[in-house]
Structure 1
Amino acid sequence: MKKDNTEVQEKSVNREVAQKAEFRVVGLSRSGNHAIINWILNQINGRYCYLNCTEPKHNPFLTARPLSEEGKVYQTNIPDFNLKQEQAGEFSQKDYLLYNHEDCFLGPLQKTEKKGINENWLGASREKRNVLILRDPFNLFASRIKAGLLRGHYPGHGAKPISVQTLQRIYKQHAREFLNNKYLKNKVLINYNSWTSSASYRKEVAEKLGISFSDEGLREVTKVAGGSSFDGTRFSGEAHKMNLHDRWKKFAEDKEYWEMFDPEMINLTVKIFGRIPPVAFAEANILSS
């Protein structure tokens, strides 16, 4: 009898609205995920909680990873926030709950959404947004190589390197989702290349997210995972000075680097980002040879 009462109580708690808005952010590592999340946190008004790099198939409150050397896995402005209570299903009232997944396929996200599992883990949300971040593959792959996040052609020494083949598969799936609707509902797309270069684009993103726009936090470089692959955190406060779209030039003469980009990936790049400089370079120097 006691067990049944407990189950009824847990279901009752989970049906209550814990947060007004829930943002699930998805993107490959080194796509500017933390820069964009930090920017979002600087735009929103109200009580928020952000859970860092959570596991797609598990409770975000239980699987969030440390944001810094101090070991804290969340960021919040809620004075009495208690992670253990949240993990136990005793949800605090929030205006915003944000959590992100990196380097993951989209199928598992669709399954948990269809089954309503997220609501049991996080409490009910009045509104939900899936935020998909995509950076062009040439600069993304260059940043991952620099950070040691690739196995295969380049020896990985980072925290969670994946193979070139896996990276290619995940990237193509994310790019196709960027162009079509298959896995994610209530989707807000963020083109990282455009986000870094256009204030009007960032304003459009804020409107789609339903948040205010001040552009605060744009120039900050977060300390998560050491900051930028190439610059670390030395441009913090001056992030606009980083050459984010020229990372590919470091590997312009590297044959193994160009082998990672097949015709399908180049075609997806052109559809989403246009004929950007690395595409033009590849057409003139690689594909023609």
Structure 2
Amino acid sequence: MAIEQDVSIPSPAAAAEQPGGWPGLGWQPDVALRLFGMRRSGNHAIANWLQRNAPRQQALFFNNCKPARLPLSHHQGIERNTVGLSRSEARDLHALGASMASGGLLLISYEDTVPSDYSLDRPVSGDLDERLFSGDILLLRGFLNWSASLLKKLQSNPAFSLVQRNAVVLRAIDSYRRMLELASHADELVLVLVDYDHWVRSANYRTDLLDRLGLPVADNTLGKMQTYGGGSSFDKDQGDADFDLKTDQRCRQMAGDAEYQAILHLAARDEALLAALVRHYPDDAARLSRLAEHPPFTTGGLF
């Protein structure tokens, strides 16, 4: 889905005209959506919310699909109406499709996948007919809280050394920057942008998004905290996202962490990242710009 290509998304009605339902499922949803977002951007909170507002109150969600492959057979699990399926249930797609009543929502998610990195020669959903989709969602989150959450999550994994986890974070920052650059072309590419920070704060914003996506408003709450990837990097014991999560405080909570400080000093010197942030998260851009005016450490520690 390179920026220069025509990637117009068909309407839900046009998608429904495809004969025989979805390949491998034999089930025809009312709305079929793809969700693209970086890890720790609220992917599963958004996916859960979309399922809870599915047409006819039924949904299938294919989680964290492998890019450039067929998503229905290359994924990290399936949910039906927000409930995860067992391996045996997920394995038999024909039986799964037959168990669904007519209509509903089919949701396919990709993590750390920038759709503009793909093209007609190597489509992000493999050989799947693009006309089956009703729309694409691009999920964004402010840089400072996102990067804090990502690093905090990686620090809890003993399999990663300091060098390994910081390499992961720096590569992710480069993908994050490309995601922001793609978001600047959202209108011409018919992408629906979802700002996770705004989504958390505003029920009216969530309602407007559901309307844009052709979904009814059935449950517009934030819902329960999702457990994918270990749940929140900070609030392991919290259950009700509507009241307990403080996702706008992650940068402040990590401010004293030396690794996080080092990553921010590097990010503050990335001119392409700052240019992308200016358009979508100007406060984050301003804070990083101020940080770049200061040396990352004093030379007294070396000599």
Question: Which category of TM-score, normalised to the shorter sequence, fits these structures?
Answer: 0.7 to 0.9
| Alignment TM-score, normalising by the size of structure 2 | 0.72
1:171 pairs with 2:176: yes
Letter of the 1:131 partner, please give it.
I
- SS class of match (2:129): helix
Letter of the 2:143 partner, please give it.
P
Among residues 41, 47, 70, which one is paired with 2:51 in the alignment?
41
CA distance, structure 1, for counterparts of residue 124 and residue 75 of structure 2: 22
Matches within 5 A, 1:73-92: 73-77=77-81, 83-86=90-93
Letter of the 1:212 partner, please give it.
P
> For residue 198 of structure 1, what is the aligned residue in structure 2?
202
Deviation at 1:193, TM superposition (A): 1.3
CA distance, structure 2, for counterparts of residue 78 and residue 238 of structure 1: 15
Deviation at 1:223, TM superposition (A): 1.2
Is this contact kept in 1: 2:41–2:141, CA < 8 A? yes
- SS class of match (1:245): helix
CA distance, structure 2, for counterparts of residue 204 and residue 113 of structure 1: 30
Deviation at 1:264, TM superposition (A): 2.6
Is this contact kept in 1: 2:48–2:82, CA < 8 A? no
Matches within 5 A, 1:267-286: 267-276=275-284, 279-286=285-292
* Gap regions ≥5 residues in structure 1: 1-10, 66-72
Deviation at 1:198, TM superposition (A): 1.4
Among residues 47, 67, 71, which one is paired with 1:60 in the alignment?
71
- SS class of match (1:36): helix
Deviation at 1:169, TM superposition (A): 2.1
More strand by proportion, 1 or 2? Answer: 1
1:266 pairs with 2:274: yes
CA distance, structure 1, for counterparts of residue 174 and residue 115 of structure 2: 11
Is this contact kept in 1: 2:69–2:126, CA < 8 A? no
- SS class of match (2:135): strand
Q: 1:52 and 1:238, CA in 2 relative to 1: closer, same or farther beyond 3 A?
A: closer
Q: Which string of whole-angstrom CA distances, capped at 9 and with x for unpartnered residues, describes residues 79-118 of structure 1? A: 9x96444279977654211010101232465436599822
Q: 1:221 and 1:110, CA in 2 relative to 1: closer, same or farther beyond 3 A?
A: farther
1:136 pairs with 2:145: no
- SS class of match (2:279): helix
* Gap regions ≥5 residues in structure 2: 1-17, 296-303
CA distance, structure 2, for counterparts of residue 17 and residue 49 of structure 1: 10
Deviation at 1:180, TM superposition (A): 1.2
Identity of aligned residues (%): 20
Letter of the 1:45 partner, please give it.
P
Letter of the 1:102 partner, please give it.
E
Matches within 5 A, 1:155-170: 155-156=164-165, 163-170=168-175
> For residue 152 of structure 2, what is the aligned residue in structure 1?
146
> For residue 23 of structure 1, what is the aligned residue in structure 2?
33
Is this contact kept in 1: 2:36–2:110, CA < 8 A? yes
Deviation at 1:43, TM superposition (A): 1.4
CA distance, structure 1, for counterparts of residue 95 and residue 119 of structure 2: 24
Bigger Cα displacement from structure 2, 217-226 vs 190-199: 217-226
Is this contact kept in 2: 1:42–1:217, CA < 8 A? no
CA distance, structure 2, for counterparts of residue 131 and residue 103 of structure 1: 14
Q: 1:85 and 1:284, CA in 2 relative to 1: closer, same or farther beyond 3 A?
A: closer
Among residues 77, 87, 108, which one is paired with 1:99 in the alignment?
108
Q: Could you say what the CA RMSD is over the residues aligned between the two structures, in angstroms?
A: 3.6
Bigger Cα displacement from structure 2, 16-25 vs 198-207: 16-25
Q: Which string of whole-angstrom CA distances, capped at 9 and with x for unpartnered residues, describes residues 141-199 of structure 1? A: 1111100079786543xxxx9633421221111101111159x9431110111111112
CA distance, structure 2, for counterparts of residue 41 and residue 167 of structure 1: 27
Q: Which string of whole-angstrom CA distances, capped at 9 and with x for unpartnered residues, describes residues 194-246 of structure 1? A: 111112211111111111224444141011111111112x2212444322112
- SS class of match (1:61): coil
Is this contact kept in 2: 1:148–1:155, CA < 8 A? no
Is this contact kept in 1: 2:140–2:195, CA < 8 A? yes
Is this contact kept in 2: 1:49–1:94, CA < 8 A? no
CA distance, structure 1, for counterparts of residue 80 and residue 204 of structure 2: 28
> For residue 5 of structure 2, what is the aligned residue in structure 1?
none
Among residues 234, 256, 262, which one is paired with 1:256 in the alignment?
262
Letter of the 1:119 partner, please give it.
D
| Alignment TM-score, normalising by the size of structure 1 | 0.75
